[in-house]
């Protein structure tokens, strides 16, 4: 469950979100769209506790995100997968290690980590480059590794900011199918995108963000 009630968020003197209220149910698959600069990325960052609201109430499952103590934030984040532009792959780690790191903080057995990492890399069709460093990958390949990293822990919530922006049509279909599969296993999925093709015909809720709040909501 994602819940924002009467949230205000500004940067310096610029108001981005105001009287912002939105609820996404547990296990739902939803989209957020709207003009460039409307605040879609900001919304996802608030939910990840990467940005902080000026006022209002934000909750994710049993976590009161708007009141999280700094030392609690890393624990909260363990249950969230993110595909954000600001969270690039680590350049001194291989593809395999970048994805495995997400599991190492969960204290998982090394054999289990290897099994899971290889399986998810196969799903995003990157297992052939497991030992490669990110700088030798194309933009779309890097993005598929980022998506694998976000999904490998089977998080309670997946936040994806323009996840298919630099993917071709076939990889876009593959990734959207993977998002659907992880959602079918219980993960709440929220995707920010400009791409109407992602949500038209999806049967999922689409929130339109404009003038600091949700202007309307449709079924895609
Ligand atoms: N760290 C920041 N410091 C100051 N202003 C910021 C910061 N991040 C975003 N903004 C401003 O907040 C507004 C909303 O930005 P945001 O990135 O959330 O929009 P967006 O809807 O994701 O846009 P896009 O579709 O282009 O990705 C913009 O006017 C932007 O300039
Ligand atoms: Mg954005």
Q: What is the CATH number of the domain that holds 4?
A: 3.40.50.300
Confidence of residue 215 (pLDDT cuts 50, 70, 90): very high
* Ligand 1 site-directed mutation target among 7, 40, 212, most atoms within 8 Å of CB: 40
What percent of the chain is modeled with pLDDT above 90?
92
Q: Mutation test of ligand 1: which of 15, 38, 54, 193 has the most ligand atoms closer than 8 Å to its C-beta?
A: 38
Cα 11 to Cα 103: distance, rounded to the nearest angstrom: 34
- Together in a domain, 127 and 147: yes
Q: Write the pLDDT tens digit of every residue in 190-207.
A: 999 999 999 999 999 999
CA of residue 32 to ligand 2 center, whole Å: 10
Q: Final residue of a domain: which of 154, 184, 201?
A: 154
* pLDDT tens column, 152-161: 999 999 999 9
When pLDDT is cut at 50, 70 and 90, the band that residue 105 belongs to is confident
What's the rounded Cα separation, in Å, for the pair 39 and 209? 7
- What are the structure tokens assigned to 1, written together? 């469950």
pLDDT tens readout for residues 31-86: 999 999 999 999 999 999 999 999 999 999 999 999 999 999 999 999 999 999 88
In a domain, 74, yes or no: yes
pLDDT of 166 reads 83
Higher pLDDT, 115 or 108: 115
Count the domains in the chain. Answer: 2
Residue 84 lies in a domain: no
* Per-residue confidence (pLDDT) for residue 186, from 0 to 100: 94
Same domain, 172 and 147: no
Q: What is the pTM of this model?
A: 0.96
Both 24 and 62 in one domain: the answer is yes
**In a domain? residue 54:** yes
Nearest CA to ligand 1 atom 8: 42
Domain match, 146 and 174 both: no
CA distances (Å), 142 to each of 84, 96, 148, 165, in order?
12, 12, 10, 12
Q: Are residues 195 and 93 in the same domain?
A: no
Ligand 1: does its nearest atom lie under 6 Å from the Cβ of 39? yes
Of 154, 175, 190, at which residue does a domain stop? 154
Largest alpha-carbon pair distance within the chain?
A: 51
The residue segments making up the domain with residue 108 are 89-154
The 10s digit of each residue's pLDDT in 137-181 is 998 999 999 999 999 999 999 999 999 988 999 989 999 999 999
Q: What is the pLDDT of residue 106?
A: 81
Reading the block at residue 212, the tokens are 């600091």
71 and 1 in one domain?
Answer: yes
Are both 1 and 60 inside the same structural domain? yes
Q: Clarify whether residues 148 and 192 are in a common domain.
A: no
Asked if residue 150 and residue 57 are part of one domain, the reply reads: no
Q: Last residue of some domain: 127, 154, 181?
A: 154
- Amino acid 86: pLDDT: 85
pLDDT at 10: 98
Q: Is 90 exceeded by the pLDDT of residue 130? A: yes
- Does any ligand 1 atom lie closer than 6 A to the CB of residue 188? no
Give the mutation target among 4, 10, 11 for probing the ligand 1 site: most ligand atoms within 8 A of CB: 11
- The DSSP call for residue 40 is H
């Amino acid at each position: 469950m994602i819940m924002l009630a009467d949230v205000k968020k500004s940067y310096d003197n610029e108001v981005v979100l105001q009287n912002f209220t939105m609820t996404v149910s547990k296990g739902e698959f939803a989209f957020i769209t709207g003009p460039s600069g409307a605040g879609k990325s900001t919304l996802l960052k608030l939910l990840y506790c990467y940005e902080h609201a000026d006022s209002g109430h934000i909750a994710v499952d049993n976590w009161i995100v708007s009141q999280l103590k700094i030392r609690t934030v890393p624990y909260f984040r363990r249950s969230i997968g993110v595909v954000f532009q600001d969270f690039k792959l680590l350049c001194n780690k291989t593809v395999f290690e970048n994805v495995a790191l997400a599991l190492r903080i969960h204290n998982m057995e090394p054999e289990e980590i290897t099994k899971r990492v290889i399986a998810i890399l196969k799903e995003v069709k990157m297992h052939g480059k497991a030992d490669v460093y990110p700088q030798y990958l194309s933009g779309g390949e890097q993005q598929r590794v980022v998506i694998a990293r976000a999904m490998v822990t089977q998080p309670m919530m997946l936040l994806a900011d323009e996840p298919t922006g630099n993917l071709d049509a076939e990889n876009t279909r593959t990734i959207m199918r993977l998002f659907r599969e992880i959602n079918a296993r219980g993960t709440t999925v929220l995707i920010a995108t400009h791409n109407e093709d992602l949500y038209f015909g999806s049967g999922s809720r689409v929130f339109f963000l404009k003038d600091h709040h949700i202007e309307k909501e449709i079924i895609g």
